[in-house]
Amino acid sequence: MKTEESYLEEVTASEYKYGFYTNIESDKVPPGLNEEVIRIISAKKNEPEWMLEWRLDAFRKFQKMTEPKWPNVTYPEPDLQAISYYAAPKKKKELESLDEVDPELLKTFEKLGISLDEQKRLTGVAMDVVVDSVSVATTFKAKLRELGIIFCSISEAIQEHPELVKKYLGTVVPKSDNYYAALNSAVFTDGSFCYIPKGVRCPMELSTYFRINEAGTGQFERTLVIADEASYVSYLEGCTAPMRDENQLHAAVVELVALDDAEIKYSTVQNWYPGDKEGKGGVYNFVTKRGLCERNAKISWTQVETGSAVTWKYPSCILKGENSVGEFYSVAVTNNYQQADTGTKMIHLGKNTKSTIISKGICAGKSNGSYRGLVKIGPRAENARNFSQCDSLLMGDGCGSHTFPYIETQNKSAKIEHEATTSKIGEDQIFYCQQRGIGEEEAIALIVNGYCKDVLNQLPMEFAVEAQKLLAISLEGSVG
């Protein structure tokens, strides 16, 4: 297996490993949500009039909406008026190189094991780093530019490539799609933008690291990835968050557009602060992710979700074009008092469309994990195919695992197979490992990684290693 070595890594800290935060001065807008705040955000970012109008329109739609109650999670409703919607590092000037980045910040990334220079030199991954909503460093731009690939912050894209942003923003996730998507549309401060031109195969994994880093700052990233005809891109997104006592709201929107014959692979390792062992604190992660596939296009979502106190997230595919393919591979781990309601929607509209769903849930402690998925076969989707496998692994008798698949079929030629199982880690499996000298915690990590293999195999190598470490860390202390 490609990442064997990682098992051998010693897992040290049992508390949240990335629970520290960087001390960077912020330029902050006072808390509150109103039209004025949106105007300030737009002005601070020097946005054109159409963008402001777009935001205001979203805000008006948002005001008519209410928070969704259907996910299988409970939490105190976040006070949106107590959130500051804009925070940016004070130094606003363009950075030429990493040397100009705040050294405090570089240290933070080192602690995370993702030092920029290392990444740059060794892995060839271009980094667009978002700290508190504003990009401070972008690398490898030159190389990408040669190929005509645009990879920048969304703010920059609004300035530099307004025609692309205007054409695609909000086309996959409409402003009024849901409560938090509408909020995001109104107040998003930054995020990433990526455009791959016709026929271009992006030679490196594009990657962003998001990080919440300012007390009381909500995060409203906006990501837009457009793969033009017959292009290919693999996009990575990873999250870590500092230890914090109060709840933090994260409501991102990700839109993917795969035009004819294009392919987008979108991978996420999510490790926001999950709260402490008593369920205090932790991030609320309410994300809308959706991709649109045109003819022969393919979108593949892979996610490893270990963090956040409360998650609801359904990376979805609209299979509009003939022969398009949607995939969803997910590992969701919950421990202590975490709650996750996650899954996908595969909307088959075109002929010969195919989708695959592999979901592996692992619940420990007092946590609750739900798979919620929709497979919809439209009347014109001749010969649509879906295969879904949703497995749950339970550890301890205080947790809950739930499966809510919705399957709607309006075409006789559809072939759909859905399977779900729930089981616990076998004591005999653990004993067997122990007899060979593998301690209980390592045994569980080993078994869990084996159980998740089909999903982990979908991740790019460096992410797979990190994901496995995260699984082990997340489940520490969950047996006994």
Distances (CA, A) of 10 to 5, 335, 433, 469, 470: 11, 20, 17, 9, 12
Q: Which is nearer to another protein, 135 or 338 (CB)?
A: 338
Find the DSSP H helices in 64-161.
103-111, 116-118, 141-146, 154-160
Residue 157 · residue 224 · CB < 8 Å: yes
Rounded to whole angstroms, the Cα distance separating 188 from 182 reads 10
Q: Which is nearer to another protein, 276 or 382 (CB)?
A: 382
Residue 155 · residue 130 · CB < 8 Å: no
Q: Which is nearer to another protein, 164 or 438 (CB)?
A: 438
Q: What's the sign of the alpha-carbon dihedral 20, 24, 25, 26?
A: negative
Q: How far is the CB of 211 from another protein (least distance, A)?
A: 31
Q: Which is nearer to another protein, 125 or 347 (CB)?
A: 347
Contacts of 126 (CB under 8 A, 6+ apart): 138, 139, 140, 141, 143, 144, 151, 204, 206, 207
Rounded to whole angstroms, the Cα distance separating 233 from 225 reads 9
Q: Which is nearer to another protein, 97 or 435 (CB)?
A: 435
The per-residue DSSP string of 330-368 comes to: EEEEE-TT-EEEE--EEEE-STT-EEEEEEEEEEETT-E
Return residues touching another protein (CB under 8 A): 1, 4, 7-8, 10, 70, 377, 379, 392, 394-424, 426-429, 431-440, 442-443, 446-447, 449-454
Q: Which is nearer to another protein, 70 or 97 (CB)?
A: 70
Q: Which is nearer to another protein, 217 or 368 (CB)?
A: 368
Q: How far is the CB of 318 from another protein (least distance, A)?
A: 19
Q: How far is the CB of 326 from another protein (least distance, A)?
A: 17
The torsion of the CA quartet 229, 269, 393, 308, rounded to 10 degrees, works out to -120
Q: How far is the CB of 409 from another protein (least distance, A)?
A: 5
Q: How far is the CB of 410 from another protein (least distance, A)?
A: 4
Q: How far is the CB of 411 from another protein (least distance, A)?
A: 6
Q: How far is the CB of 152 from another protein (least distance, A)?
A: 39
